[in-house]
Chains A and B, each alone.
Chain A
Amino acid sequence: MLNYIFKRLVWAVVTLWVVITITFLLMHSIPGNPFAKEGTMPEAVYNNLQQYYHLDEPLAVQYVIYLKQLAQFDFGPSLKSKTITVNDYIVNGFPVSLHLGIQALIIAVCFGLIFGVIASLNRNRWPDYLAMVLSIIGISVPSFILATFLINYVAVEWRLLPVATWESWSHTILPSISLAMMPMAYIARLMRSSMLEVLGQDYMYTAKAKGLSRHMVILQHAFRNALLPVVTVLGIITTNLVTGSFIIEKIFGIPGMGEMFVIGIFNRDYPVILGSTIFYAAILIFLVFLVDIAYTFIDPRIKITGEGE
């Protein structure tokens, strides 16, 4: 097990390095640079800025400088803000995105699983159709449309919840729901098909023939087996949720990471783009690793051995 974890760690570093390199090259191949747009800037000031941020150096030198900096866990300064570094951005923005993301994740997983199970147990009857119609809507309606609807009705018309910003817990409800809809629908569909497959297995007859009650059969024998495909996608879903959806954050005016990423791209704010991409990649790699570990708890047939089999 330790051996396996070490091996995964080495691969994680390699993957991260590849991500860094590709992002670095792609970013610099976009036309323009962070200071070019500001036309009124005197030539000397422009040159000074370029020099200060090493932007006048050849790309290879800049790359080495960045890697050195990164080795000290320093994502560098933001080129657009005089006082805030990328580290500050992440430290300030990530907890907010994380909070929103975890709330959305809880909603998505709980309701997704419940809807999926209900649909599978009532196959081809109205609860199944209802759950599946809802999940089709959840998958096909973009989150910004849902968010606008929610703001219009729940917040503006009925005045049940605040419209925007990020202050008390009641401010977090609408963005969490908007963000959770799509993964919830996806999980519901996945869980339904997975449950249907498990319910048709021979060992369901065995469980029933033992005289177990229906809910015991479903909870203890079907649910756990059906969970495996859902766990597989959970890593990616979680990453998407916790690193912030810039659309939802933009609409609700939430000071999370998503917004910073988009503004960074508009401004060609190189350190911000790189910093947030690397951060995102690191979280994804970590969660996929967690999912692999989680498999071994759910399915005893999967064993982690550290050997390359």
Chain B
Amino acid sequence: MSTIIEVKNLAVSFHTYGGEVQAVRGVSFSVPRGSTVAIVGESGCGKSVTAKAMMQLLSCPPAEYKGGEILFNGEDILQKTERQMERIRGNEMGMIFQDPMTSLNPTLTIGRQITEGMMKHRAFNGKEAKEEAIQLLHLVGIPQPEQRFDQYPHEFSGGMRQRVMIAISLACQPELLIADEPTTALDVTIQAQILQLLKKLQEEMGTSILLITHDLGVVAETCDYVVVMYAGVVVESGTAEEIFANAQHPYTKGLLQSIPRLDQQRAQALRPIIGSPPDLMDPSPGCPFYARCEQAMRICKNHHPTLEHVNGEHYSSCWLRHPMAQVVR
């Protein structure tokens, strides 16, 4: 299976008044063609920055690409000019944003917002674009698409708006869809509908999906591969089954333990991961999870563990994997 996009050692920093924030510090992963890959992690771990970097959407300054490459169909996105990026954005890569309430322009009809990408990339005239857009609206499950075409975002509910967002991102049938927390702002029933819709569209159009989320429930439901990020680095990655059944990294284990379970005893409290993520203004040279890790060892403080092969496509970055670890303990 070929990969559609491969991120190699990506590093992104933000320049702020307080100093340089190293939001992403060497992230590598790849998305096999036709599959769904999830990037999981808590707020501020660099997921969204990674996603935006993949389309060169970060405004520089304050952002700065410090290194690495993003190979999309073999070509490095970070080397492309703005003009070249315009041809890729929306056309070969689509993006869905987190909050459908604020991600649509309130003063333009949704029809206009769906068709403008098509008219640019696919050279459609107004009539063709309208027909295509109505089909898309139908496809994403919006009833009465002909009437809805001329309506404004405020006339849609949150779930419907996210469907419109999906229609916009799919307008040019991109090969890769980046969904940046597409269900975070929606209530649970709508979340399930949107995820099903994405799954259905993926089957019909063969799109590869990169799903950014902090919701492991969403991951379990939809994804083939999982990349767990923490403090701007990848701590563990592998197939969804491996990650859920055989998590190696204490952070991944912590995440899994902090989800409420149906078969849990009532009296049993949830087990959160104590503490908060490290300051990325001045990251330590050691493992970023050191301060919160229950199994931290001396070596973790000053030496960053490398991403080690576990089995199959499963990798984990933790000193506990080291043969000496058992001896030390």
Residues of A bordering B, CB below 8 Å: 201-203, 205-214, 216, 220-221, 224-225, 298-301
Q: A206 to B171: give the CA distance in the assembly, Å.
A: 13
Assembly CA distance A220 to B119 (angstroms):
14
| Interchain CB contact under 8 A, A299 and B107 | yes
In the bound assembly, the distance between CA atoms of A225 and B108 in angstroms comes to 10
**When chains A and B are docked, how far (Å) is the Cα of A220 from the Cα of B89?**
18
Instruction: Answer yes or no: B86 CB below 8 A from chain A CBs.
Output: yes
B103 contacts A205, C-beta separation under 8 Å: yes
Residues of A within 8 A of B85 (CB): 211
Given contacts A202-B102, A203-B104, contact A209 B91 (CB under 8 A): no
CB-CB nearest 5 A-B residue pairs: A211-B90, A211-B89, A210-B90, A210-B117, A202-B102
Contact A206:B97 (CB < 8 A) given known A212-B116, A224-B107, A300-B152: yes
Determine if A214 and B107 form an interchain contact, defined as CB atoms under 8 angstroms apart.
Answer: no
B152 engages A301 (CB within 8 Å): yes
- CA of A111 to CA of B24, assembled, Å: 42
A-B contact number at CB 8 A: 81
Whole-angstrom CA separation of A309 from B256 in the bound complex: 49
B95 contacts chain A at the CB level, 8 A cutoff? yes
| B120 interface hit (Cβ, 8 Å) | yes
CB <8 Å contact, B102 and A203 = yes
B272 within 8 Å of A (CB atoms): no
Q: Which of B102, B113, B116, B168 contacts A201 (CB 8 A)?
A: B102
Point out which of A208, A224, A298, A299 has the most chain B C-beta atoms below 10 A from its C-beta. A208
The answer to the question of B224 belonging to the interface, with a C-beta cut-off of 8 Å to chain A, is: no
User: Is B133 located at the chain interface by the 8 A CB criterion?
Assistant: no
- Asked if B197 is at the interface of the complex by the 8 Å CB criterion, the answer is no
14 sampled A-B residue pairs with Cβ under 8 A? A202-B99, A202-B103, A203-B105, A206-B95, A206-B104, A206-B168, A210-B168, A211-B89, A212-B117, A221-B105, A225-B105, A299-B106, A300-B107, A301-B152
Complex Cα distance A299/B168, Å? Answer: 21
Closest to B85 in A: A211
B57 on the A face (CB < 8 A): yes
Chain B residue contacts of A298, Cβ below 8 A: 107
B103 close to A203 (CB less than 8 A): yes
A205 CA / B94 CA spacing, docked (Å): 12
A211 lies within 8 A of B86 (CB): yes
Say which residue of B107, B152, B165 sits within 8 Å of A206 (CB atoms).
Answer: B165
List, in ascending order, chain B residues with CB within 8 A of A201's CB: 102
Cα A202 to Cα B85 in complex, Å, equals 19
In the bound assembly, the distance between CA atoms of A300 and B152 in angstroms comes to 7
Is there contact, CB below 8 Å, between B57 and A211?
A: no
A206, A298, A300 — which one has the most chain B CB atoms within 10 A of its CB? A206
Q: How far is the CA of A207 from the CA of B121 in the complex (A)?
A: 14
Contact B106 A210 (CB under 8 A): no
Q: CA–CA, A301 to B89, complex, Å?
A: 29
Which residues in A have their C-beta under 8 angstroms from that of B152? 300-301
Which residue in chain A gives the minimum CB-CB distance to B95?
A: A209
Q: Which B residues lie within 8 Å of A221 (CB)?
A: 105, 108
- B88, B105, B106, B120 interface centre (most CB from chain A within 10 Å): B105
- B213 on the A face (CB < 8 A): no
Query: Counting CB contacts under 8 A, is B13 at the interface?
Result: no
Counting CB contacts under 8 A, is B187 at the interface? no
